[in-house]
A = this chain, B = another copy of it.
Amino acid sequence: MRLAELSERSGVSTATIKYYLREGLLPPGRRVNATTADYDEEHLRRLRLVRALIQVGGIPVARAREVLSHIDDDSLGRTIRLGAALWALPQDPEPDEGDPDVVAARAEVDRLLETLGWETSRELATLSPVHRSLVVAVTTLRRLGYPWDAELMAPYARLMHQVASRQLDFMETYDSLKEQVEVAVASAVLFEPVLRALHRLAQEEESARRYGIE
């Protein structure tokens, strides 16, 4: 199909598609001649994923490009490929390690991982961007006066572990490695809005049960 058709079927304007092509989020079409390029279903699929990452997930374009490049990298093994794609997602700034609040938060997070017996995560503690995000978030909450410690977080962590486990089960139902990594990324980015919405819905529901509608 040509650009115009790709645009029509995806609901994305040709100008925007051209922009994504320029930015390397979308591989170029097969050039038929100097004025025509041909796009296939794979392009459509990728375009939908890009839109989802950017619009639903709020991922900046530059970061989306990075994530996608890992998905496409056939030279990596599963764990690395998956890890690389997921590691490219977060966007938190470096916490100031000199700040006592940050140090305290990091200590609590470490205590949490110890409690849970998540040895792998402890080993990666200084490297993983996800770990860093957790430290930043906990720091903020504690600074606002909420007593977030390992004991308080542990039950939540166990719940999220159950969630993650289910998702990996689901991921394994896909055949190709590329699809699996795509599923993992889609889970991390698109599934989180679902979780968030379910969380808030549950909050509404439980709040109404406890206090009534008034």
**Interfacial residues, chain A to chain B (CB-CB below 8 A):** 45, 48-49, 52, 56, 58, 77-80, 82-83, 86, 89-90, 118, 120-121, 124, 128, 130-131, 133-134, 136-138, 140-141, 143-146, 148, 152-153, 155-157, 159-168, 170, 183-184, 186-188, 190-214
Contact of A164 among B89, B120, B194, B203 (CB under 8 A): B203
* Nearest CB in chain B to that of A167: its residue: B203
* Nearest CB in chain B to that of A58: its residue: B58
C-alpha gap A118/B145 in the complex (Å): 33
Is A52 within 8 A of B140, CB to CB?
yes
Contact of A160 among B183, B198, B213 (CB under 8 A): B198
Is A166 within 8 A of B157, CB to CB?
no
Residues of B within 8 A of A203 (CB): 86, 164, 167-168, 184, 187-188
Q: State the Cβ distance, A138 to closest chain B Cβ, in Å.
A: 6
The 12 listed contacts between A and B (C-beta, < 8 Å) are A83-B204, A118-B201, A131-B201, A133-B193, A134-B201, A140-B190, A157-B198, A157-B201, A161-B206, A163-B202, A168-B203, A168-B206
Is A146 within 8 A of B197, CB to CB?
no
Is A214 within 8 A of B48, CB to CB?
no
The 7 closest A-B pairs by CB, nearest first: A134-B197, A164-B202, A137-B193, A120-B208, A161-B202, A164-B203, A160-B198
C-alpha gap A207/B121 in the complex (Å): 11
Known contacts A137-B190, A194-B137: A157-B209 contact under CB 8 Å: no
Identify which of A77, A160, A161 gathers the most chain B CB atoms within 10 Å of its CB.
Answer: A160
